[in-house]
Amino acid sequence: MSELSVQIEELCRKAKKASRQLAIATTERKNELLGNIAEALDEGRARIAEANEKDVKKGREDGLTSAMLDRLELNAKRIDGMIQAVHEVIALNDPVKEVIKRWTLPNGLEMEKIRVPIGLIGIIFESRPNVTVDASVLCLKTGNGTILRGGKEAIESNRVLAELMQEASEKTGFLRETIVLIPTTDREAIPLLCGMDKYIDLMIPRGGHGLIETVVKNARMPVIKHYHGVCHLYVHEAGDFDMAESILINAKCQRPGVCNAVETLLVDESIAGRFLPRVARALRDEHKVLLLGDAATSLALGETLKEPENWSTEYLDLILAVRVVKGLDEAIRHLEDFGSHHSDTIVTADKEAGERFLNEVDSATVYWNASTRFTDGNQFGFGAEIGISTDKIHARGPMALEELTSYKYIARGSGQIRQ
C-alpha cells in the first residue's frame, strides 16, 4: 500500500467512527453543532478571506478563466450566504428516527421501519468552495459523517472551512472527524477514496462529466450521480400558444446554465407553421437565443437553420434545438431516445394527452403546462438540496434531507422464535 493510501484509509476510519457518534445524536445536539458551525464561520471570516485570497491569486497565475475565478471567490456576501444556509438547515425538520411504518406480526412481534442516517458520505467536488460547507451541513443534520475531496483550485479555502467546522464539532463535544477533508490535491486520491467501501456508504460526485466518469468507474460503494439535464418542452397540437411561449422563454432563458433549463423544443407538425415563427421572433429579438433545427423547422420558419449535431447535447447556453414531430407518440419516443430523463414538460389543453405524457415519460420530474425550472429542492418545498439525482435508485430528482437517510427495521419481541 502506498503512503497516500494508508493516509486515506486512516482518515476514512476516523470519519466512520465519528459518524457513529452523529448517527445516534439527538436533533437538538445536531442543531447545536450546526449553530456552532455558523458561529465559527462568522468568527473565522479573516481566516477564510486569507486562504481564499491565496487560491484566487494562484488561480490568476494559473490562468483560470474569469468565470472560474468568480466561482472560486468567497467574498463577504458569499460567506454571509454560507452562514445563512446553515441557519436554514437548522430550521428544517430532521427526518432521522421518523417511523415510516409500524405493524405487528401474527406472532406478536412489534415491527417498525424507521429512518436512520446512511453513515459516512463521500462528496467529491470541483471548484466552488462553499460546497464544503453546504454539503457537510446537510449530511450532519441527517446524522451522517462527511468525507470531502474538493478541487485543487480551492484547496486553501476548503482547508480552512473544514478546520472551522472541525473546531465547531469538537466544541460541541463530537469528534473532530465528523467532517474530514482529504488534505492532498493528488489526483490518485479519488480512485483511492472510491475503493474505501468498507468505510464510505455512499459517494456523491458533484462536478463535470470527467469527474463523474472517474467516480463511476472506480467506486465500489453506491454512487448517486447528478449528471446532466437534457430537458424538453413539447408543444402539443392542443397547446395554448401564449402559455407555451411564456413557459419556453422561462425554461430556456431565465437561467440557461442550469440543469433544469430546456435544451430542446418539440412541436407538433400541425401547429409548427403557426407557432414556430412567433416563438422564434420572441426568442431571438428579446433573448438572443440561437436556434438550431431540423428540416421541418426550417420549412416552418421559411429559412435554413443549422441542424443540431445531435439531439442529446446539454447546451447550458442561449441555444435551443427545435424539432417538428408527428404527435405525442413521436415526442415520447424522442425523449426516450435522446433525453436525459431529468425534467420534461408538455403544453396542451388536452387532458388525455397531458395525462399520457405524465404517465409514459420516464423522467425524474414530468410537467404538464409548467416550466421545467421548478425541479429544485427549495421550489418543491423540501428545503436545501445536495443536488438533483439523475439516478433511479434511492434518490431521483431533487435530493434533500430525506434522501440522505436510509432505514432499518426494529422488532420488539417477547421471546418469539421462527417455526
Number of residues that bind a second copy (CB under 8 A): 66
Q: In Å, what is the CA distance from 197 to each residue of 120, 148, 380?
A: 10, 15, 32
In the shown chain, the binding pattern of residues 108 to 137 toward a second copy, with x for contact by CB under 8 A and - for none, equals -x-x----x-xx------------------
Residue in the structure block whose three cell numbers are 421471546 = 415
Region from 16-24, 49-57, 85-93, 308-316 binding a second copy, contact rule CB under 8 A: 16-24
Question: Residue 4 or 358: which CB sits closer to a second copy?
Answer: 358
State how far the Cα of 187 lies from the Cα of 204, in Å rounded to an integer.
Answer: 17
Q: Are 100 and 116 in contact (CB under 8 A)?
A: no
Among residues 167, 178, 123, 127, which one has the least CA distance to residue 151?
127
Residues 383-402 binding a second copy (CB under 8 A) are 391-394, 396-397
**Cα–Cα distance, 314 to 32 (Å, whole number):** 41
Cα-based angle 246, 252, 254 (whole degrees, multiple of 5): 80
Measured CA distances, 245 to 235, 249, 252, 275, 414 (Å): 9, 6, 10, 9, 65
Pick from 69, 243, 282, 319 the residue near a second copy by CB under 8 A: 243
Q: Minimum CB separation from a second copy for residue 391, in Å?
A: 7
Whose Cβ is closer to a second copy: residue 138's or residue 300's? 138
Check residue 217 for interaction with a second copy (CB under 8 A): yes
**HSE (side-chain half, CA atoms, 13 Å) at 281:** 6
Q: Which of 2, 6, 24, 278 binds a second copy (CB under 8 A)?
A: 24
**112: which 3 cell numbers?**
417498525
**Residues 63-92 contacting a second copy, CB under 8 A:** none
| 3 state SS of 325 | strand
Cα distance between residue 194 and residue 182, in whole Å? 13
Residue 240 burial (10 A CB sphere; 0-12, 13-18, 19+): middle
Could you tell me if 102 and 114 are in contact, meaning their C-beta atoms sit under 8 angstroms apart? no
The type of residue at 322 is V
Q: Is 210 in the site for a second copy (CB under 8 A)?
A: no
Residue 407 binding a second copy, by CB under 8 A: yes
Question: Cell numbers of 36, please?
Answer: 456552532
Stretch of residues binding a second copy (CB under 8 A), selected from 82-90, 173-181, 186-194, 379-387:
379-387
Residue closer to a second copy, measured from CB, 15 or 133: 15
Nine-digit cell string for 179: 467532517
- 417 makes contact with a second copy (CB under 8 A): yes
378 is a site residue for a second copy (CB under 8 A): no
Applying CB under 8 A, among 366, 377, 383, 386 the residue interacting with a second copy is 366
Which position among 33, 193, 223, 384 is part of the footprint of a second copy (CB under 8 A)?
223
288 touches a second copy by CB under 8 A: no
Q: Is 103 in the site for a second copy (CB under 8 A)?
A: yes
Q: Give the residue, chosen from 5, 13, 20, 171, that forms a contact with a second copy under the rule CB under 8 A.
A: 20
Amino acid identity, residue 28?
E
The binding site for a second copy (CB under 8 A) comprises: 20, 23-24, 103, 105, 109, 111, 116, 118-119, 197, 201-202, 216-217, 220, 222-224, 240, 243, 246-247, 250-251, 254, 336, 354, 358-360, 362-371, 373-375, 379-381, 391-394, 396-397, 406-418
